[in-house]
Structure 1
Amino acid sequence: MKLTDNHSHKPKPDDRSDNVEKLQNMVQDTIQNIEKSHETMRFTDGEEKQAIETKNKRREEAIDAMRNEIKDEYNALD
C-alpha cells in the first residue's frame, strides 16, 4: 500500500535575522584557526609549513569575504 502526502510543502520563509551573528561567529572561528596554525608552524618546516601558510592565506581571504557579507547582511536588515 502506498501512502500519499496530500499536504503541500511550503519552503520556510527566508529568515536572515541571525545571519550577521552566524557570520561573526564564523569569522571568530577562522581567526582562532589561524592562531592555532601559527602555534603549529613553530614546530614544522618545509612542505607542511608551506601548506599551513597557503591555508592561512585562504582563511584570510575568507575572512575578508565574510566581513563584506556581514556588511551586506547588516544593510539588508534596515
Structure 2
Amino acid sequence: MVPFKNKPKPDDRSDNVEKLQEMIHNTIENMEAAEETLTLTDSPETRRQVEEKNERRRESLEALRAEVRDEARANGLNQE
C-alpha cells in the first residue's frame, strides 16, 4: 500500500463572515424577486409555493445571521 502524499488544505475560515454576508444579501434579493412574482400571478399554487419558499428563506436568514455572529466572535470581530 502506497501512503498518500497529498495533504488536506488547512481550514481557512478568515473570510467566512464575508461569504456569509454575501449569502444573506443574495437570499434577500431572491426573496424580493419572489415577492415581485406574486404580483404577477393569479395561480393559488404558485402563490403558495412562493410563500412557503420565502418562509424557508426567512428561517435560513436567521441561521445565517447567527452564524455570522459566531464567526465574528471566533475571529475577534465585533459585528453587533
Q: Normalising by the residue count of structure 2, what TM-score does the alignment of the two structures yield?
A: 0.86
User: Who wins on radius of gyration, i.e. which is larger?
Assistant: 1
The Cα RMSD (Å) is 1.3
CA distance in 1 between partners of 2:48 and 2:33 (Å): 15
Measured in 2, the distance between the counterparts of 1:16 and 1:55 equals 29
Tell me the TM-score normalised to structure 1 length.
0.89
Instruction: Please show how residues 1-78 of structure 1 align to structure 2 within 5 Å.
Output: 8-44=5-41, 45-78=43-76
Q: CA deviation at 1:6?
A: 6.8
Tell me, in whole angstroms, the C-alpha distance in 2 between the residues paired with 1:34 and 1:7: 45
Instruction: Tell me how far 1:43 sits from its aligned partner.
Output: 1.2
The amino acid across from 2:11 in the alignment is D
**Unpaired segments ≥5 residues, structure 2:** none
Structure 1 gap segments, 5+ residues each = none
Q: Which has the higher contact order (CA 8 A, sep 6+)?
A: 1
Letter in 2 for 1:55: K
What SS does structure 2 have at the residue aligned with 1:42?
helix
